[in-house]
Structures are given as structure tokens and as C-alpha cells.
Structure 1
């Protein structure tokens, strides 16, 4: 069975890295991006199973 692919968008480096490690430790494949625009590009390119978005990230907020 394929691993679940998570797109995680967070501009705080420490939070992004810690969350990515925690998700990978329990078996998720994670693409972590630092801003909304790169997150949107990754979403379109990778088609993740789920996206976790910080609401207030640079470029394009998590609500948009």
C-alpha cells in the first residue's frame, strides 16, 4: 500500500522541520514548503493526498 503524501506549508523553519520529521516518523511522505506560492506549485505538481496549511504564510495565504 502506498504511503499517504502530505503537503505541509509553514513559513517558520523550526515548526516546518519538526512537523515534517514527526509526520515522516509515523509513515507519511512529506513535501514541506515555506510559502504559499511554492506550496501551490508543489500541490499542482505532486497532487498530495492532503495539504496542511498555515493560514498566514508569505506570498499566498493558506486561506486563498
Structure 2
């Protein structure tokens, strides 16, 4: 039981940190990148979610 509580506490802290990092990225004009079932998605700073690669990521 004690180990489960520790795991839950760690996940809670980690989840909060990830959300904060995602928020800061968007505020700084950097897209967040996600993958689901092998498909890549980009969350743009304006909130749009797209599969198109943003020009900042193109070479």
C-alpha cells in the first residue's frame, strides 16, 4: 500500500511538470509534438492540432 501511494505521488508530480512544460512551450511559440498509434500530431501555439509538420521543423 505504501509503495502504491508513493507511485501515485510521483505520477502526480510528473504529470504536473509535463503540463507546465507543455504550457511554457506553447507560450514560447514552440509546438508540442504527440504520437498516437504511430501517427504524429502537432499542437501549435494557437491551439490548433494538425498532422502537418510546422515550417519551423522543416529543413
With normalisation by structure 2, the TM-score equals 0.31
- Structure with higher Rg: it is 2
Between Structure 1 and Structure 2, the one with more helix by share is 2
Q: Which structure would you say has the larger RCO, counting Cα contacts within 8 Å and 6 or more residues apart?
A: 1
